[in-house]
Amino acid sequence: MDKILDLIIIGSGPAGLAAAIYAGRAELDTIIIEKSPISGGQIINTYEVDNYPGIPGISGFDLGTKFREHCDRLEMEFITGEVIKFEVKDGIKVVTLDDEKVYRSKAVIIATGSNPRKLNVVGEEKLSGMGVSYCATCDGAFFKNRTTAVVGGGDVAVEDAIFLARLCKKVYVIHRRDEFRAAKSLTTKLTAMENVEIIWDTKVEEIIGDTQVEQLRIKNLKTKEEKILDVDGTFIAIGYNPSSEVYKDVVEVDLGGFIVAGENCETNIPGVFAAGDIRTKDLRQIITAASDGANAITAVERYLNSL
Ligand code: NAP
């Protein structure tokens, strides 16, 4: 029988790396499995992170590298590979990689993250990070006193629009239907803001700009009328796709596919924990992901002590 580790951490974004740091300090026999050898997760594509305490203006790539270097100082063991199968057999967690290697452990932290949904329109990919953003709380400050648009009608879109309206000269909210999905408490606040204009029944057809977002081509879905909107930034908030495919038949997930877990990161399966963007939570940020990493290790230690 292969060695049984204390802990396998799956994912090397902020949640996985923070968990790895805490696991190293707790001297847990741990491996971290990451899909790519460049640690950091989603943040490596973030041009600038300006809301992580103590290091304003750092690039996402540099922050990810710092997290990874911290793990390396603790001599944590990283393995590159994609998890293709996850099972729990007699309480032992069994993780199979795409190269068919199999790892076993008493506890697992799933920290595989989620990705913001894309609109899949012309210009979106080209201008991503150049006025197209998927995180208003991360990038909103770059658009102070300027004109922005938020696309979407859920809680995140409306919260983003409220946040941006306090900073920006003007905020358009573009929603494909004629009513919000977001909570009434939020929409009431939004509609009372004077610099917000809601554009109903409309979808974005194209994001226009050379090196920066300059305009949106929008289309009213009822009248089919097209219009050009001058904007400096576009915040896309149309939901997230969690990376939970491999785990969703083992642990409980919500309707959106996020692993159901509270602040202690415990799932419905003993010894299986979910940390960071993959778990059900309100605010998906680097700081909340890192916080999950710490909380998850505390819960893992409690679990290991109970065995
Ligand atoms: P969401 O609730 O799934 O809303 C996504 C929004 O984007 C919907 O309005 C949807 O339109 C729209 N949309 C989806 N695909 C689109 C497309 N291709 N083109 C245009 N529009 C599109 O997602 P979310 O706002 O990111 O929230 C995620 C979860 O976190 C939700 O369960 C939310 O309640 C929760 N959350 C809670 C809080 C809070 O309680 N304070 C804060 C933030 C988030 P339709 O409405 O037409 O479907």
> For ligand 1, atom 39, which residue shows the shortest CA distance?
282
User: pTM of the entire structure?
Assistant: 0.76
Cβ atoms of 293 and 276 closer than 8 Å: yes
**Domain enclosing residue 103, as ranges:** 4-116+240-306
Q: Are 101 and 248 part of one and the same domain? A: yes
Which sequence positions are flagged as catalytic? 135, 138-139
Asked whether residue 48 falls in the same domain as residue 197, the answer is: no
Is 123 a domain residue?
no
Question: Strand, helix or coil at 238?
Answer: coil
Cβ of residue 155 lying under 6 Å from some atom of ligand 1: yes
Tens digit of each residue's pLDDT (9 = 90 or more) over 248-283: 999 999 999 999 999 999 999 999 999 999 999 999
Residue 127 lies in a domain: no
Measured in degrees and rounded to the nearest 5, phi and psi for residue 252 equal -70, 130
Distance between Cα 77 and ligand 1 center (Å):
37
Question: 125 in a domain, yes or no?
Answer: no
**According to DSSP H, which parts of the chain are helical?**
14-25, 60-73, 136-139, 155-165, 184-191, 286-306
Q: Which tens digits make up the pLDDT trace of 135-187?
A: 898 889 999 999 999 999 998 899 999 999 999 999 999 999 999 999 999 99
| pLDDT tens-place string over residues 38-70 | 999 888 867 678 889 999 989 889 999 999 999
Ligand 1 and 160: CB distance under 6 A? no
Q: Using a 6 Å cutoff on CB, does residue 157 contact ligand 1? A: yes
Domain boundary among 217, 236, 255: 236
Using the predicted structure, report yes or no on whether residue 236 has a pLDDT greater than 70.
yes
User: How many domains does the structure of the chain reveal?
Assistant: 2
Is there a single domain that holds both residue 168 and residue 231? yes
We report the CATH number of the domain holding residue 181 as 3.50.50.60
pLDDT beyond 60 at 78: yes
Residues 6+ apart with CB under 8 A from 178: 200, 201
Among 181, 206, 236, the domain-final residue is: 236
> Cβ atoms within 10 A of the Cβ of 9, count?
33
CA of 210 to the centre of ligand 1 (A): 29
Percent of the residues in the chain that have a pLDDT greater than 90, as a whole number: 89
| End residue of a domain, out of 205, 236, 267 | 236
Statement to judge: residues 22 and 65 lie in one domain: yes
Using an 8 Å Cβ cutoff, are 136 and 164 in contact? yes
- 225 and 252 assigned to the same domain: no
